[in-house]
Structure 1
């Protein structure tokens, strides 16, 4: 596996501001350079045999190239979010249910951080229904919270019909339960925002027994 040095002078262009970013000419440049392989697990979302990768302040092109070489049996898609070059993907793109015969898949998209139009089209062309996630219930955060209010979509999907969300996110509950028919478990978790995440970030490693994760049922969902 890659072993980046995490050296400020090697991996970053400006050691005084590691999250510097620029959207000039759609270049999606961050302060993270391409000297070493770099990505966080949270910069990646898997849907069957398709892997979505967010170029961000913690993930570079070198990281995506290494993943493609190491896992040639999987297909990787680079995602671009013009309004967000912050780290991690799990509050911007949240798969909830894969497509089945006669029923489209459901993917939750952060309306504050939409991907490029042609990348949304990748979902609609492959029988996925993009659903705009609601705005956060509140913009206020606990003192010292190392995250933004967009953490409201940092939910944990247990299977194709059950999710866990933060208990104060009533608009999200109404969308998932009342409109989309999911079983929704609420959990008090806001105090842990100070550690830089919410329910999805704070979960312990686990293995899901879902359709997407069974080796004999792992599919390519995108053409």
Structure 2
């Protein structure tokens, strides 16, 4: 049952009982149009050739992805979660965009604040306004809520050095704040984040300035030369239990963070196979870790991924299975496709 006394935005972690959420829509999704250097730094090498300007995904793929998102939204509603959806049928080809299916990349809730990403990729510059502007307007009617929209100066097209030089492991420079909100994971008053090919130090500092008082960002040391988003690297299933991708991060690196000092840290024990149909154009098969936890007891997993579901169940979780392979194909899974607006918790972390 929805608690209407709660603010329209109130969330501090990834596992407290989920009360309200945004679920994306694919629309007329396209391969992201970004500079070649950005694509090569982040996308699977065998699919880089697909990333061409104004190239839509196959319509059959999108139709199936849209059906999966609708099913997912209905499933969450059946579990008692209030669901917000963006408008249907957005033609991202017309605006040289990508999709509205992955709102986690562009919005992050922290306490009663909702922060919009300063995307590194210009094809995503107007994604939040186009797909989620109406929802943000509705949420902003709650006087207890602060919504921090992206400022115009962060639209500067200056992140690639003209001479092709790089002063860091990342393809983008530090000339203006850049970040995807999917590069951050909330653990109460501590937020773990990573630097990546879409998130720079100026972006981290921008997020820190935007946080409510008492919240802090700590940067996790991740071994991922193609880093872009942290939510297939670590997955807190409940308070005190975290699953991590041992190909990208070590237990030693995790334990450097006091917030995880007493946690049970479990390496994901499988090497997932790349699916053949539909293919993963934009991600690795480790999307198995990109799950949505409903309340520290229940977690949503892809319907065909039985080995992961059985393993999560061995850790004491109840798995709710949902078909999502076609959403996976266009760039993400359950965590990517959602923004949790309200989790019913009192911060004590």
Smaller-chain TM-score range?
A: 0.7 to 0.9
Gaps of 5+ in 2: 1-149
The alpha-carbon deviation at position 152 of structure 1 amounts to: 1.6
| Equivalent residue, structure 2, for 1:119 | 254
Q: Paired residue for 2:302, among 161, 166, 170?
A: 166
| Equivalent residue, structure 2, for 1:132 | 267
TM-score, scaled to structure 2: 0.51
Taking a change above 3 Å as real, the CA distance of residues 93 and 123 of structure 1, as seen in their structure-2 partners, is farther
| Equivalent residue, structure 1, for 2:237 | 96
In structure 2, what is the Cα distance between the partners aligned to 1:180 and 1:144? 28
The alpha-carbon deviation at position 28 of structure 1 amounts to: 5.8
Gaps of 5+ in 1: 22-26, 99-104
| Equivalent residue, structure 2, for 1:82 | 223
1:188 aligns with 2:323: yes
Question: Helix, strand or coil for the counterpart of 1:191?
Answer: helix
Taking a change above 3 Å as real, the CA distance of residues 50 and 143 of structure 1, as seen in their structure-2 partners, is same
In structure 2, what is the Cα distance between the partners aligned to 1:50 and 1:125? 10
Taking a change above 3 Å as real, the CA distance of residues 144 and 46 of structure 1, as seen in their structure-2 partners, is closer
| Equivalent residue, structure 1, for 2:341 | 207
Taking a change above 3 Å as real, the CA distance of residues 208 and 64 of structure 1, as seen in their structure-2 partners, is same
Taking a change above 3 Å as real, the CA distance of residues 15 and 79 of structure 1, as seen in their structure-2 partners, is farther
The alpha-carbon deviation at position 148 of structure 1 amounts to: 1.3
CA RMSD of aligned residues (A): 2.6
The alpha-carbon deviation at position 75 of structure 1 amounts to: 1.6
TM-score, scaled to structure 1: 0.78
1:13 aligns with 2:148: no
- Count how many residue pairs are aligned between Structure 1 and Structure 2: 197
Instruction: Summarize deviations over 1:85-143 as a string: whole Å, max 9, x none.
Output: 42101000111111xxxxxx001101221147243343686211111123254222523
The alpha-carbon deviation at position 66 of structure 1 amounts to: 1.6
Cα contact 2:327–2:333 (8 A) shared by 1: yes
Question: Helix, strand or coil for the counterpart of 2:309?
Answer: helix
Which structure: larger Rg? 2
In structure 2, what is the Cα distance between the partners aligned to 1:84 and 1:183? 34
